[in-house]
Copies of this chain bind each other. A is one copy, B any other.
Amino acid sequence: MSILCVGSVALDSVETPFGEATRVLGGSANFFAASASLFTSVQVVGVVGEDYPLEKLDFLRERGVDLSGIEERPGESFFWAGRYHYDLNSRDTLETRLGVFADFKPRIPESFRSARHIFLGNIDPTLQLDVLNQVDDPGVVAADTMNYWIEGARTELLQLLERVDILLVNDAEARQLADEPNLLKAAEWIRGRGPSVVVIKKGEHGAMLFDGDAVFFAPGYPLEQVFDPTGAGDAFAGGFLGYLARRDRMDHETLRRAVVFGSATGSFAVEDFSIDRFRSLDMQQVVKRVREFREMTSFEAPVREVLGV
């Protein structure tokens, strides 16, 4: 099952304690597609300026990513520059230039409209809604958002939520959206607005799945080297939705595994700058890491011996 992904196709300049990368491939759509294309074919809708090195996306094309929905427009591509601090948990935005992204109006090509799985990357909720209005009959709609839209476009975001099946946000966004510090209650609040499934990403602290009455946790994968945290959340979403699309199921056990696959692909994303880690990544390595997640979290239920019965 192919996934339609709409988001930013950007250039990033990133400084971390381990080095820097200048004007490299970035944006939610790139990270999502690089990750999800390990699982299934991906159709990308986005916009770039004349300065964009589209040829550098050839490795995605070779992996089944259809980039024909990326519009090239006169002007400059979306550019973001940031600097990560010592512990990589916080960052400063040094520069943001929206360029052609400022007037982005997603146009879904005819051949993309029958997609069953949709990923709405973090863009204006009005545009996310607009995407949904252009597709025929989406089976699974997953969406991301951020504090900027939660504050500035709350009404539109709440309208969008009514049509979203899975919301993927980080813990701060969940708390802000629900105006509730307790994550259990925040997730419950969000699920009351539309999404039957909520995934809360907590960076190095892992991810939580809320589905039905169940809560599921995957830890953050402990890496010896974190090179560049940029895009980890979108790479998570790519592994998560990629797995769901490949399986074409959304039962609870499948959702749990999807969270672990997302945690795995998210953890690979941070091992190199930009989407570079995905150039050499294959499913064998992903599955190996999924097995490590299992090993890291499993323990024997210890009832009898403790109660002494």
Interface residues of A in 279-309 (CB under 8 A from B): 283-284, 287, 290-291, 294-303, 305-307
Interface residues of A in 121-142 (CB under 8 A from B): none
Verify B303–A287 contact, CB threshold 8 A. Answer: yes
Q: Judge whether A87 is part of the interface by a CB distance below 8 angstroms.
A: yes
Of the residues B247, B256, B300, contact of A253 by C-beta under 8 Å: B300
Verify A306–B182 contact, CB threshold 8 A. Answer: no
Report A62 CB to chain B, min CB distance, Å.
Answer: 19
A256 and chain B: residue at smallest CB distance = B299
A109: B residues at CB distance < 8 A: none
Q: Judge whether A178 is part of the interface by a CB distance below 8 angstroms.
A: no
Verify B206–A219 contact, CB threshold 8 A. Answer: yes
Verify B224–A257 contact, CB threshold 8 A. Answer: no
Report A253 CB to chain B, min CB distance, Å.
Answer: 6
Report A66 CB to chain B, min CB distance, Å.
Answer: 21
Report A219 CB to chain B, min CB distance, Å.
Answer: 4
A210 and chain B: residue at smallest CB distance = B222
Q: Judge whether A191 is part of the interface by a CB distance below 8 angstroms.
A: no
Distance between Cα atoms of A299 and B292 in the complex (Å)? 12
Copies in the complex: 2
Q: Judge whether A97 is part of the interface by a CB distance below 8 angstroms.
A: no
Indicate whether A182 sits within 8 Å of B219 (C-beta atoms), given known contacts A257-B302, A301-B291.
Answer: no
Distance between Cα atoms of A253 and B302 in the complex (Å)? 10
Of the residues B205, B287, B291, B299, contact of A257 by C-beta under 8 Å: B299
Q: Encode contact with B along A209-248: 1 for CB under 8 Å, 0 otherwise.
A: 0000011111100111110000000000000000100110
Q: Judge whether A118 is part of the interface by a CB distance below 8 angstroms.
A: no
Verify B183–A208 contact, CB threshold 8 A. Answer: no
Report A268 CB to chain B, min CB distance, Å.
Answer: 15
Indicate whether A297 sits within 8 Å of B88 (C-beta atoms), given known contacts A183-B222, A202-B205, A224-B184.
Answer: no
A225: B residues at CB distance < 8 A: 182
A222 and chain B: residue at smallest CB distance = B184
A206: B residues at CB distance < 8 A: 205-206, 217, 219
Q: Judge whether A269 is part of the interface by a CB distance below 8 angstroms.
A: no
Q: Judge whether A260 is part of the interface by a CB distance below 8 angstroms.
A: yes
- Ordered by A's residue number, 19 sampled pairs between the chains whose C-beta atoms are within 8 Å are A87-B181, A182-B224, A184-B224, A202-B205, A205-B205, A206-B206, A215-B222, A215-B296, A217-B296, A218-B297, A256-B299, A256-B300, A260-B302, A283-B307, A284-B307, A290-B303, A291-B303, A294-B299, A297-B297
Binding site for B on A (CB under 8 A): 39, 86-88, 175, 181-185, 202, 205-206, 208, 214-219, 222-226, 243, 246-247, 253, 256-257, 259-261, 283-284, 287, 290-291, 294-303, 305-307
Beyond the given A87-B181, A182-B224, A260-B299, please list 6 additional residue pairs across the A-B interface where CB-CB is below 8 A.
Answer: A184-B222, A184-B223, A208-B222, A247-B306, A253-B299, A287-B307
